[in-house]
Amino acid sequence: MEIKFEHVDFTYAPNTPMAKKGLQDVSFTLKENSFVAVIGHTGSGKSTLLQHFNALLKPTAGTIRIAGFEINKDTTNKSLKALRKQVGMVFQFPENQLFEETVLRDIAFGPKNFGVLEKEAMQLAQTWLERVGLSEEVAEQTPFDLSGGQMRRVAIAGVLASEPDVLLLDEPAAGLDPRGRFEMMKIFTDYQAAGHTVILITHNMDDVAYYADDVLVLEKGELLLHDTPERVFADRDWLTAHHLDEPTASNYGRVLSRRGFEFSKNPLTLTSLTQQIVQNLDKG
């Protein structure tokens, strides 16, 4: 099912001297089963936007249609539990929210909280323990004895175990080394491949290039651009003007262009860069 934002406004502390616009007239439609990156300079409204997908923040004006729910300023808290079962959120540094005595219990907490019976929740926990790449050995350990990366996997498994239709991710790979980042992102691309929609806030343009098929660019609470990664990264001057980086491979590509290499399309990934370098070398 499509996700639709229709003229969404959000103001922090409205009608006070501290009032601050978080979102301004934001409208877009996202296709089902897409992997959407949300990018923008610091303070552009990415987290504010993400929190609207599951009504952690409700719009001051406008409407959000998602997973069969409609969210507007009058949405009551009554429907929120059902909504949050369908639209799950992984916060930044989710490992800080672990609290159960064992890893399995922590993962099972999410589904139990949404009404799944104990036995079934523990089975789901077992399934997701494996799917996020944790070994059976840690199942009965206290999560607090695990490494930081493992703890983060436990927390993510806890969200995925409820199998939300839409998965919201706020910089989930922050602080991980490149290998940890790659493994973490694999969990999310697998989740998309299983038929779900994934929406990712990231400052890492390589993540956008490698994983996203759709991009929302925010600036000062407004939607500056909604397009494919190819089009978002097409104009280096435009990116610079909006304080955005380009993917590493594009950067290398530009350096090589100055040395006479010809690129038929902007190389966003190392695979594309390598293929096009080989084509240039073959041509001599």
Ligand X SMILES: Nc1ncnc2c1ncn2[C@@H]1O[C@H](COP(=O)(O)OP(=O)(O)OP(=O)(O)O)[C@@H](O)[C@H]1O
Q: Write the burial class of residue 229 (CB in 10 Å: 0-12 exposed, 13-18 middle, 19+ buried).
A: buried
Q: Which is nearer to ligand X, 4 or 21 (CB)?
A: 21
Instruction: Verify binding: residue 73, ligand X, rule CB under 6 A.
Output: no
What residue type is assigned to position 213 of the chain? D
Q: Which is nearer to ligand X, 51 or 266 (CB)?
A: 51
Instruction: Give the interface segment with ligand X, choosing from 42-50, 64-72, 155-163, 266-274 (CB under 6 A).
Output: 42-50
Instruction: Give the interface segment with ligand X, choosing from 37-45, 53-61, 223-231, 269-277 (CB under 6 A).
Output: 37-45
CA 272 to chain centre: 24
Kindly tell me which residue out of 5, 8, 45, 110 binds ligand X, with binding defined by CB under 6 A.
45
Kindly tell me which residue out of 2, 7, 20, 29 binds ligand X, with binding defined by CB under 6 A.
20
Shortest Å, Cβ 191 to ligand X: 22
Q: Which is nearer to ligand X, 71 or 138 (CB)?
A: 71
Kindly tell me which residue out of 37, 44, 162, 164 binds ligand X, with binding defined by CB under 6 A.
44
Q: Which is nearer to ligand X, 46 or 152 (CB)?
A: 46
Instruction: Verify binding: residue 40, ligand X, rule CB under 6 A.
Output: yes
Instruction: Give the interface segment with ligand X, choosing from 12-20, 139-147, 175-183, 269-277 (CB under 6 A).
Output: 12-20
Instruction: Verify binding: residue 88, ligand X, rule CB under 6 A.
Output: no
Instruction: Verify binding: residue 46, ligand X, rule CB under 6 A.
Output: yes
Instruction: Verify binding: residue 48, ligand X, rule CB under 6 A.
Output: yes
CB hemisphere CA count around 12 (13 angstroms): 10
Q: Tell me the number of residues near ligand X by CB under 6 A.
A: 12
